[in-house]
Amino acid sequence: MVRVDFGNRERLAELMDREFYKCYQCGTCTVNCLLGDSLLVRRTIRHIQLGITPENGYIWKCISCNFCGAQCPSNVDIAHIFRSLKALKYEEKNYPEKVNEVLWNVYEEGNPLGSPKKERFTWLQKTGSSDEYDVLIYTCCMAAYDKHGQDILMRTAYILEKAGLKVGFFTDSSCCGDAVYHVGDDYFYEEVANQNAERLDGYKAEVILTVSPHVYHNLKNLYPRYNARISTPILHHTQYLYELLNEGRLKLGKLEARVTYHDPCYLARYNDIVEEPRGLLEAIDGIEFVEMPHSKRETLCCGGGGGGIWLENEEARDVTRRRLDEVAYIDTNVMATACPYCIRMFEDESKVLNMDLNVIDVTELLYEALVQSVKAST
Amino acid sequence: MLRNIIVLLKIVPKPEEVVFNPETKTVDRSKARNEINEADKNALELALKLKEKYGGKVITLSMGPPIWDKYIRLGVAMGADDAILVSDRALAGSDTLPTSLTLATAIKKIGDYDIILCGEESSDGGTGQVPPGIGGWLDIPHVTYVSDIVEISQDGWATVKRTIKGGHELVKIKLPFIAAVELGSNKPRFPDFRRKRWAEREFQLKIWSLQDLGLEPDKVGFKGSKTIVSELEEVKPAERRKEVLSGDLDELARKLYEILKENI
Amino acid sequence: MEDIWVFIEQDDGELEGSSLEVLSKARELGEKYGYMVSGVLFGSDVKKLVEEAGRYGADRIIYVDDENLRIYNAEVYAKAMVELARRYNPNTILFSATRNGRDLAGRVAIPFNSGLLAHVISLDFDEEGRLTGRVPGFGGSIAAIVKCIDSRPQLATVTPGVFEAKTFDRECKYVEEKLEVDLTPDKYLVISREKSPVKDISKSEKVVVAGQGTGGELDIVYELAKLLNADVGVTRPLADRGLAPRDIQIGSTGVNLKSKLVIVLGASGAPHFVSGIKDCDLVISINKDADAPIKEHSDYFVVADIFKVVPKLLELLRGGGDA
């Protein structure tokens, strides 16, 4: 017979904001987990309820997509439980080797990839510094060091400038800390968050814009928990572009394409941003918009979140493929999304599968439509 | 339990950020960010592992300007118990001979040591001569290109793994000794950021001057050195064509094949 | 006549080729400035080795034959070298900058208070007879011209591969020395060794280099090398991971290549690596990152996934490519 370890349970309860007490062990989470049996979600929570700290290893596979949490009838914040476990294991120095490397990379080069810090903005043509911007863009590391990501950033800037806005890049940025948060290093994360918040406050801008739902979630929702407060409003680019559209400040031409939209977990499930990207796509004349079987808060996942993209998480590829199966099912070769992680994961995996699929950011379609309208008017 | 484990830490500019000015023939390190010499981090990691296994106190020792402070504290955050910085204007210009003398003198002052560890060489100077030199001054055995310390036995001998041409050898070496640790031989642990706060705010870094060491100024610095740098020059990379090939994979392969055929 | 010494390294009866390069360079300097050139060799049953080394430009080979010197031992070799140097007072001692050469030079410098130039890439004496060399630093991007001052002997280690070993048709004397110091090691014992023969790729005509981008999957790298009759090298991270021996690690902490052709697969182009290919005639690199710094150091820079383009190239190479 297993007896409850009350002391340890209390310790875990504090760490996890008592979330696991809400669980009545129905098993919906385990059934729905996108990683199959890798995580044994229900059993893990049961152990915690008994005051047993789960063993190390498999918890690092969690990609914090929170698909389980969205299905939970008792509304348990399961992703929070797993992230707390990672923090616990990190504290015990019980983590995959790759974690160590990712942390050094963020500390030394300001990005989890380990790419040279000084090359973060080499692609940026004009670096005209100014004290005041309408929009200040916070680049995601994934985008800043990737050709496709750079295009997305530049095109977003172009669209905003066409709408008459003064756009700048947050060039002394380092990683937002998403990877640090998800490997559980709270003390380092606190330092990263506060440093970024302090630097951001050195800029004058109406709004801070990011093309990454992860950067958005960190800045807006996680930083304040670590006493890092940013006074400027933070928006995801789809939100802001949607505002501009509604104000009639985007002139869009016609595009012929059959397009689906993949909701990034951190936009849809974590932040309830589902209508804005769809609104943008539907505003482009000629686009045939198709939904996948799973969408909005029920969206599937690219497999890259929760630090997964940095930790060589082989199981996560199954998650990526499951989403790509749905794309194939609805028969389209343009998948729009709004997250640099999603784009990288789907691009890489669709190439491996030899799929004829174009994974793009919503912004890129808007850019094309904008160019069409410019062409039409000249 | 082991007596003191002393780790030599050097702070170096990131090599890719050092700028050479061909007109003044000087190296501009001012724009380069600094870091703990990579191989020294491997040495520190090995020291911390030894401490976990055999006990002892890990003390870092550096010789350089006071601005190294921040990086030395990072070593403390990684787990070093104590840190000493030897800093004195008279040390400027020291080559490997006075450098090894100064460090050896500081090691004697720390005293009670069993193992001294350092990186195989530094990324800026990169001579690799300091470790055997310290061994010479202290009259203790030295061993270089060490990838691991396999065992330390009760009778005061250690077994170390040393890289040699085509493989490795096991060397039994008598304590106390100095070992130069191979670059990349382990994964240095990420600093504990809770400890880092303490290291930055409360930890007292000991700074020793030449006087503290009892060393005469003419034994160190330019005066004590037996080599002089007469000039610096940039080693220019060879001019390359830099022809970029991209596009269709089959065409690329074909093109590569043709280039290879032409050139072999 | 003053003497330039060259430490002739051997391991269990096998001569270290780069010591002979240094010996040939010493011959050149000896001719130019009127020094005698001596090779110094420690080993066990060394008669054949001594005669072989004698062909590379020495006036004499001074050797010590002792079972304790059969393989390199830091303690014993330093004792032997210090005693010999005290006996002869050479002007200069040169070492090849191999692991053992650096190890020995660093220790020998101390009792003589000698200046020591580290892994030089050029070597000369100035008008005052001071040993002078170029010393690369900062990952090989900057070199310092460094001189020894007020030192006897003056010391230098020489980067392997920068000079050429040449045989000379001249007479060489062989001098066996017996030492007073006890050569039995008492603080440093080599208890076991594990080594396999490695090819010295510093002189290979063609080399295929594997970088991080291969993810350590080296099959296609070896396959390509085989079809091109080339040797394989790796960048540091792969050697760090133990996927290849340090002996084939390219760059400032490893081998400098002088090949006619080098193909770089999936290496981004860190400074410490590119210094190792700067003397190659033709550099072809393949990288999926169009902005990888290796571009600047390549004659042909192919933007592609190596795992996609190399298999196609292999097919062409296998099939003769005319299909």
Per-residue pLDDT, averaged over B75-102, amounts to: 96
CB contact under 8 A, A188 and B193: yes
Closest chain C residue by Cα to residue B27: C142
Per-residue pLDDT, averaged over A294-319, amounts to: 91
Position B117 in a domain: yes
In one-letter notation, the amino acid at residue A152 is I
In one-letter notation, the amino acid at residue B243 is E
Residues 6+ apart with CB under 8 A from A186: A87, A226
pLDDT score for B123: 78
Nearest to A47 by CA among A3, A110, A102: A3
Position B132 in a domain: yes
C139 vs B15, B226, B264: nearest CB: B15
CB contact under 8 A, B141 and C74: yes
pLDDT score for C184: 97
Eight-state DSSP code of residue B80? -
- How many beta-carbon pairs under 8 angstroms link B with C? 282
Position A78 in a domain: yes
> Whole-number mean pLDDT of chain A?
92
B190 vs A104, A118, A190: nearest CB: A104
Provide, as residue numbers in chain A, all residues whose Cβ is less than 8 Å from the Cβ of B193. 185, 187-188, 190-191
| C110, C207, C309, best to mutate vs chain B, most B CBs in 10 Å | C110
| A142, A147, A148, best to mutate vs chain C, most C CBs in 10 Å | A147
Position B233 in a domain: no
Check which CATH number belongs to the domain holding B13 and give it: 3.40.50.620
E strand intervals along chain A: 132-138, 167-169, 204-210, 234-236, 254-261, 285-290, 334-337, 358-361
Q: How far apart are CA C266 and CA B98, in angstroms?
A: 42
Domain count, chain B: 1
pLDDT score for A314: 84
Could you tell me if A175 and A275 lie in one domain? no
pLDDT score for A50: 94
Could you tell me if A317 and A218 lie in one domain? no
| First-residue to last-residue Cα distance in chain A | 80
CB contact under 8 A, C191 and B128: no
**Domain range holding B114?**
4-224
| C274, C291, C295, C306, best to mutate vs chain A, most A CBs in 10 Å | C291
Provide, as residue numbers in chain B, all residues whose Cβ is less than 8 Å from the Cβ of C297. 237, 240
Residue ranges of chain C whose CB lies within 8 Å of a chain A CB: 289-291, 305
List, run by run, the mean pLDDT of 10-residue segments along chain C (323 residues): 95 94 97 96 96 96 97 98 97 96 97 95 94 84 89 94 91 96 96 87 91 88 92 89 86 84 91 85 90 89 91 87 48
Q: How far apart are CA A373 and CA B3, in angstroms?
A: 76
Q: How far apart are CA B152 and CA A148, in angstroms?
A: 53
Per-residue pLDDT, averaged over B83-99, amounts to: 94
Could you tell me if A18 and A78 lie in one domain? yes
pLDDT score for A149: 94
Closest chain B residue by Cα to residue A106: B190
Position A96 in a domain: no
CA distance A261 to chain C (A): 27
Position B237 in a domain: no
Position B232 in a domain: no
Provide, as residue numbers in chain C, all residues whose Cβ is less than 8 Å from the Cβ of A119. 291
Instruction: Say if residues C42 and C78 touch (Cβ distance below 8 Å).
Output: no
Residues 6+ apart with CB under 8 A from A371: A253
CB contact under 8 A, C187 and B227: no
Could you tell me if A194 and A268 lie in one domain? no
Position A99 in a domain: no
Closest chain C residue by Cα to residue A146: C289
* Neighbors of chain A by Cβ distance (3+ pairs < 8 Å): B, C
CB contact under 8 A, B16 and A116: yes
Domain count, chain A: 3
Q: How far apart are CA C66 and CA B96, in angstroms?
A: 32
List pLDDT tens digits, range B113-142: 999 999 998 877 778 899 999 999 999 999
Per-residue confidence band for A128, with pLDDT thresholds at 50, 70 and 90: low
Distances (CA, A) of C201 to A149, A378, C15, C248, C257: 40, 62, 16, 7, 7
pLDDT score for C323: 43
pLDDT score for C139: 67
CB contact under 8 A, C110 and B95: no
CB contact under 8 A, B193 and A118: no
Position A101 in a domain: no
Per-residue pLDDT, averaged over A360-364, amounts to: 97
List pLDDT tens digits, range C189-222: 999 999 888 788 888 999 999 998 888 889 999 9
**Domain range holding A14?**
6-91
> Whole-number mean pLDDT of chain B?
93
CA distance C206 to chain A (A): 29
* Neighbors of chain C by Cβ distance (3+ pairs < 8 Å): A, B
Could you tell me if A232 and A255 lie in one domain? no
Could you tell me if A270 and A150 lie in one domain? no
Please calculate the CA angle C86-C88-C90 and round it to the nearest 5 degrees.
Answer: 95
Position A105 in a domain: no
CB contact under 8 A, B242 and C298: yes
Q: How far apart are CA A90 and CA A84, in angstroms?
A: 10
Q: Is the dihedral of CA C112, B183, C273, A117 positive or negative?
A: negative
Position A100 in a domain: no
Please calculate the CA angle A279-A283-A287 and round it to the nearest 5 degrees.
Answer: 105
Closest chain C residue by Cα to residue A348: C305
Provide, as residue numbers in chain B, all residues whose Cβ is less than 8 Å from the Cβ of C236. 183-184
pLDDT score for A127: 55
Per-residue pLDDT, averaged over A182-191, amounts to: 96
In one-letter notation, the amino acid at residue B39 is A
Check which CATH number belongs to the domain holding A373 and give it: 3.40.50
Could you tell me if A227 and A264 lie in one domain? no
Domains of chain C: 3-176 (3.40.50.620), 201-318 (3.40.50.1220)
Position B122 in a domain: yes
CA distance B32 to chain C (A): 12
